[in-house]
């Protein structure tokens, strides 16, 4: 007895990897934005991002970091169509996203 059935998982489309941003040559003198997808007070964001800031500043004294508190936060704050425009308007050369969940 043979059963031939449809795969129920739909299909995936062509992946446009070229849409990824080019990486930076270096972080020296760059502006980096922090984006938090966690609620305030959750996932220790108030501890992890300051530590990242400190570690990056030790390596790159002239790097400018815009803290997560200056951007929208939470899933519904950052999962918006214009989030790219928001960080671009602040002059970000790169973005670190987190925290965790």
Partner 1 sequence: MARIEKKGIPTFSITRKGFMSAVSSGFLAMGLGSDVAQHEFPLDMFLPGSDLTPLEQNIDALVDGLTKWRPGKETQGHKSVKVTIEGNDYFDANKKLNLTFLKNKWGDGLPILPATEEQVNWILSGTDLPKDTIVGKVPPLGRVATVESLATNLVMTGGRPEYLTVLIAVMKAFLDPLFRAVTVQTTTCSSYPVVIVNGPINRQIRLNSGYGCLGPDPSHPSGASIGRALRLIQQNIGGAIPGSGTMALFGGPARYTNIVFAEDEIGLPLGWKPLSVEMGFPSGGNIVTIYSAATTSNVNAARSSTEKVAVETLNRLARIMAGNYGNIFGDFNNNSVPGIVLMPRGIAQGFAALGWSKDSIKAYLWENSKIPYEVIKSDSVVFATGQEILRSYAREGAAWPLASEPKNIMIVIAGGEQAGHCYWLRYGPGPKNPVSAEIQLPTNWAKLMKNAEGDLGTAQLN
Give me the residues that bind partner 1 (CB under 8 A), please.
Answer: 1-27, 32, 35, 39-44, 47-48, 51-52, 55-56, 59, 74-76, 79, 81, 83-85, 87-88, 92-101
Find the shortest distance in angstroms from Cβ 94 to partner 1: 5
Residue with smaller CB distance to partner 1, 41 or 61: 41
The Cα–Cα gap between 76 and 26 comes to 31
DSSP string, 39-93: PTTSTTHHHHHHHHHHHHHHH-TT-EEE-GGGS--SHHHHSSTTHHHHHHHTT-S
Find the shortest distance in angstroms from Cβ 100 to partner 1: 4
Find the shortest distance in angstroms from Cβ 89 to partner 1: 10
Q: Which two tokens stand for residue 62?
A: 């002239």
């Amino acid at each position: 007895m043979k059963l031939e059935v449809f795969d129920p998982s739909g299909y995936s489309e062509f992946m446009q990897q070229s849409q990824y941003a080019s990486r930076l040559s270096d972080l020296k003198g760059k502006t980096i934005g922090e984006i938090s997808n966690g609620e305030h007070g959750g996932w220790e964001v108030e501890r992890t991002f300051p530590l990242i800031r400190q570690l990056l500043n030790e390596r790159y004294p002239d790097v400018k970091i815009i803290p997560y508190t200056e951007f929208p936060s939470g899933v519904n704050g950052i999962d918006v169509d214009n989030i790219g425009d928001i960080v671009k308007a602040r002059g970000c050369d790169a973005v670190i996203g987190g925290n965790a969940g």
